A and B are shown apart, each in its own frame.
Chain A
Amino acid sequence: DTAVSQTPKYLVTQMGNDKSIKCEQNLGHDTMYWYKQDSKKFLKIMFSYNNKELIINETVPNRFSPKSPDKAHLNLHINSLELGDSAVYFCASSGRAGGRTDTQYFGPGTRLTVL
Chain B
Amino acid sequence: SQKIEQNSEALNIQEGKTATLTCNYTNYSPAYLQWYRQDPGRGPVFLLLIRENEKEKRKERLKVTFDTTLKQSLFHITASQPADSATYLCALVLSGGYNKLIFGAGTRLAVHP
- Residues in A lying within 8 Å of B, measured CB to CB: 4, 31, 40-45, 48, 50, 55-56, 90, 92, 94, 96-109
A contact residues around B18 at 8 Å (CB): none
The secondary structure that dominates the B interface is: strand
Output the nearest chain B residue to A109 by Cβ-Cβ distance.
B43
A contact residues around B106 at 8 Å (CB): 41
* CB within 8 Å: A-B pair count: 61
- Given A43-B103, A48-B98, A101-B49, answer yes or no on A107-B32 (Cβ-Cβ < 8 Å): no
Output the nearest chain A residue to B6 by Cβ-Cβ distance.
A41
Report 7 cross-chain contacts, Cβ distance below 8 Å, ordered by A residue.
Answer: A42-B103, A43-B44, A56-B98, A94-B99, A99-B99, A101-B51, A108-B41
The answer to whether B79 has its CB under 8 Å from any CB of chain A is: no
